[in-house]
Amino acid sequence: MDHTQLTGNSIVAGRDVPGEGPGWRGAVAATGEPRGPWLRDASPEHVADAARLAAAAARDFRTLPAPRRAAFLDACAEEIEALGDGLLELASAESGLPRARLTGERARTCGQLRMFAALVRGGEALGVRVDPALPERLPLPRPDLRLRRIPLGPVAVFGASNFPLAFSVAGGDTASALAAGCPVVAKAHPAHPSTCELVARAVTAAAERTGIPAGVFSLLVGRGIDVGQALVRDPRITAVGFTGSRAGGLALFEAANARPVPIPVHAEMSSVNPVIVLEGALTDPAALAAAYVTSLTSGAGQFCTNPGLLLLPAGDAGDAFRAAVAESVSGTAGQVMLTPGIAEAYTKGWGRWAAVDGVSVVARGVPAEGPYAPGPVVLECDAAAYAAHEDLAGEVFGAAGLLVRWSGTDELLALLDGLEGQLTASLHGGDADLATAGRLLPVLEERAGRILWGGWPTGVEVCHAMVHGGPWPATSAPATTSVGTLAIDRWLRPVCYQSFPDTLLPEELRAANPLGIARLVDGTPEPGAAMDDHRDGVPPRSASGPGGA
């Protein structure tokens, strides 16, 4: 079958599986018009088959030599790139996102697949620790103890509406889970089902090309909650990765914890990403306001790191910033939002803010052409109004910002103490504000996974030191990240081997360290060399593989 042919089917372990029940179609984001093939939801039997085949493939997949797994990840990137401009055109139609944005997102998607391939080859994610036996130690000898991390097993991945490539079928959750050695059963997002199918066919082609067991990857189609709930409840699924709304994440979290054997849910749910402006940052209020509005309105504000809350000093300098924000926002136009439902929720959401006593509209941008491109908006209230109305603390997904005016460091600290967990928190100040910032920092460390000085939270670098996570309810697992190489930790667990014969140990734990990986030996780092990339039996990508959609 042509890997670029869209059918609307689920793909279970490499096989096309037509769904059941009422038919439905994807839509053009800008108009709401139906597009693409007819789809039908995966049946409960299809969900069970995908989980069963993933579990059957799990042991073979996790015991493959690391270079084979790395070659698969590289092949996934190659097959996605080979889809060409057709993938970008399709994703743009389904999401409303501009071609330039999606070009960068495709590069990020393929870059993180290759980043995890390099991590697998280097062996760092195994976390090997060796504490050799101390038979002469008094008062008791120490046995030989060796630790490595092994994959949890099949992972259910739910992609995000706002990143149809980088946080979707082959996005960061899938890339990190496959790198860990975990099979993935992905749930296609109903906002961009054809994009999901096309990328899933690329991953399937990469598995075929590199000799990876077919059960290692499946894609399930589903518009409502039934398919996702059935997947999370299947006893063969061992962990969940989710990016989306708080309601969706909490529903999966509750389902996972209601199982006879609960499983971890790594859900990124919501965040208002507070920006704290101190007096010293307001020497050039116009420039600061322009940077704020750029961050707020980028991508129609549809980023999980959008600066939805800005804490601004009362007084003349803060007034000048507010005036500059009003001027900047008034000159902006709306952008097509991801779905008609998201556009409607955005308009209702900031409307709820505006209806609260003590809240006023600072400025509104103009809607763009079409029914689903509402204009940006910035509103304002004081600290007392914000603290008194719980609804103001919630996220409005889109280009809606709330300025909260504070007077004095104590009032600012009280505001920060009252915040929920966040993905990010940003500080803007000058040299004279360093002492105040030092007082705020301990609170911000408790509230956020990433803290910025002098910057804006939109834009997440994919690298080793990045944390894209945070305390509840920004995420359901505050000790983890969904971006960067540390994301692989979510799908691994440690196993200790005590007093084993060397020949029975996994290679990475043996005395001679035949894989040449870095290890911690008796508390001292032992450097290693990266594993050789043996590609025996892994053919290069054929010209007859995926092309344009």
Instruction: Determine whether 500 is exposed, middle or buried from the number of CB atoms within 10 Å of its CB (0-12, 13-18, 19+).
Output: middle
Helix or strand holding residue 197 (H, E):
helix 193-210
User: Please, how many CA atoms are within 13 Å of residue 396, restricted to the half-sphere of its CB?
Assistant: 29
Beta strand 275-277 with 155-158 is unpaired
Beta strand 422-428 with 400-406 is unpaired
Helix, strand, or coil (residue 220): strand
Q: How far apart are CA 490 and CA 125, in angstroms?
A: 11
Task: Kindly provide the residue ranges of all beta strands, DSSP E only, lying in 499-546, ordered along the sequence.
Answer: 519-521, 524-526
Residues shown for the chain: 549
113-116's contacts with Cβ under 8 Å and 24+ in sequence apart are 113/73, 113/74, 113/76, 113/77, 113/80, 113/170, 113/175, 114/73, 114/74, 114/77, 115/175, 115/462, 115/485, 116/73, 116/175, 116/176, 116/178, 116/179, 116/485, 116/488
Q: How far apart are CA 323 and CA 326, in angstroms?
A: 5
Q: How far apart are CA 196 and CA 76, in angstroms?
A: 14
Residue 46 and residue 10 in contact, taking contact as beta carbons nearer than 8 Å: yes
Phi and psi at residue 398, to the nearest 5°:
140, -170
Is 463 one of the catalytic residues?
no
Phi and psi at residue 273, to the nearest 5°:
50, 70
Task: Write the secondary structure of 300-326 as one string of H (helix), E (strand) and C (coil).
Answer: HHCCCCCCCEEEEECCHHHHHHHHHHH
Site of tokens 């399930």: 220
Q: How far apart are CA 474 and CA 452, in angstroms?
A: 17
Q: What single letter denotes the amino acid at residue 25? A: R
Q: How far apart are CA 174 and CA 188, in angstroms?
A: 12
Check 304, 381, 395, 508 and give the catalytic one: 304
Is 268 one of the catalytic residues?
yes
Task: Kindly provide the residue ranges of all beta strands, DSSP E only, lying in 229-296, ordered along the sequence.
Answer: 239-243, 265-268, 275-277
Q: Which two tokens stand for residue 239?
A: 């962990």
CB proximity list for 42: less than 8 A, separation 6 or greater = 10, 17, 19, 20, 50, 220, 221, 222, 227
Nearest Cα neighbor of 441 from 454, 431, 426 is 426
Instruction: Determine whether 258 is exposed, middle or buried from the number of CB atoms within 10 Å of its CB (0-12, 13-18, 19+).
Output: exposed
Instruction: Please give the angle made by the CA atoms of 188, 190 and 194, to the nearest 5 degrees.
Output: 70
Rounded (10°) angle between helices 44-62 and 226-233: 40
Check 79, 105, 197, 268 and give the catalytic one: 268
Catalytic residues: 268, 304
